Amino acid sequence: MNTEHVSLNGKKAYFLSDVHLGASALSESVNRERECRLVGWLEQIRNDCATLFLLGDIFDFWFEYKRVVPKGAVRFLAKVAEFTDQGIPVWFFTGNHDVWLFDYLQKECGVRILKQDAAFVIERKKFYLGHGDGLDPHDRGYLCIRRIFHNRFLQRCFRWLHPDVGVGLARRWSAHSRKSKQNGACPKASGRENGQQEIENYARCILKQESFDYFIFGHLHLPTDIPLGGGSRYINTGDWITHFSYAVFDGRDVRLITKS
């Protein structure tokens, strides 16, 4: 795994995930309100932001046809372009909802796309970053679906669907998936039992091979800060639906902040 080096120059690094812009399970007005709140937060941090990490599922669904992209999120995209135009690096890790993000945001907004976990050194601290899905080797059902979503041939097949059909199907699937999760155990217990332990185990396995100060993931929608021993910590950035949470690194320590 290659390691990227980032300097803060007296500023801060911000980490955000699971905004799910355009979520089909939410009303248009609620989605617009969330996007405006996100854009307002980005404007607040812009002057002291050295780099911004978007850790996946920023969009509830995204697929880039050759000449078409999903409508919406224009305020967010414009703000991201302001960041990169100002020289602020924006790293976009694809999640399980926006896995079909190719080069549009790179060309139009200047973001740097990462489709797998990556290591960073920021002010002499080592970070292991990713979305956080697909880390449980025993979850064969999800791993199978993940392989399907990453299959290039099937991606080309999906592109042949008219956007009204393809995007409509994907958003109905997303809404059904979210409602199924809501009908199960409470989010906190579900996240802890079904995801947090797997991510913790994964981080501990990585630590046996290489030391990291911080593991930062999203995916579970549950803000979490867990010590792993030896000074290492696992932090989950939560979401921008219920918790409106994010992580920030000031060059000395990472703080998890919830704005709900």
Percentage of residues in the chain with pLDDT exceeding 70? 81
| Residue 140 banded pLDDT, cuts 50, 70, 90 | low
- The C-alpha angle with vertex 223 and arms to 218 and 225, in degrees rounded to 5, equals 100
pLDDT at 71 over 50: yes
pLDDT at 195 > cutoff 60: yes
**C-alpha–C-alpha distance, residues 127 and 17, integer Å:** 16
- Contact yes or no for 130/57 (Cβ under 8 A): no
Give the global pTM: 0.88
Question: Taking the domains of the chain in order of start, what are their residue ranges?
Answer: 3-258
Helix (H) or strand (E) holding 23: none
How do residues 19-53 score in pLDDT, each as one tens digit? 999 988 889 899 999 999 999 999 999 999 999 99
pLDDT in tens, 199-217: 999 999 999 999 999 999 9
The yes-or-no verdict on residue 181 having pLDDT over 60 is no
Q: Which of 217, 181, 185 has the alpha carbon at shortest distance from 199? A: 217
Q: Using an 8 Å Cβ cutoff, are 92 and 107 in contact?
A: no
92 strand-pairing partners:
54, 113
What is the pLDDT, as a whole number, of residue 191? 46
- Among residues 45, 47, 59, 60, the alpha carbon closest in space to that of 15 is found at 45
User: How far is 47 from 44, CA to CA, in rounded Å?
Assistant: 7
CA distances from 201 to 96, 204, 222, 223 (A): 20, 5, 17, 17
Question: What is the reported pLDDT for 180?
Answer: 46
How does pLDDT run across 229-252, given as a tens digit for each residue? Answer: 999 999 999 999 999 999 999 999
Architecture of domain 3-258: 4-Layer Sandwich (3.60)
pLDDT at 102: 87
Is 94 within 8 Å of 101 (Cβ atoms)? yes
3-state DSSP helix/strand/coil % of the chain, to nearest 5: 40, 25, 40
pLDDT of 164 higher than 80: no
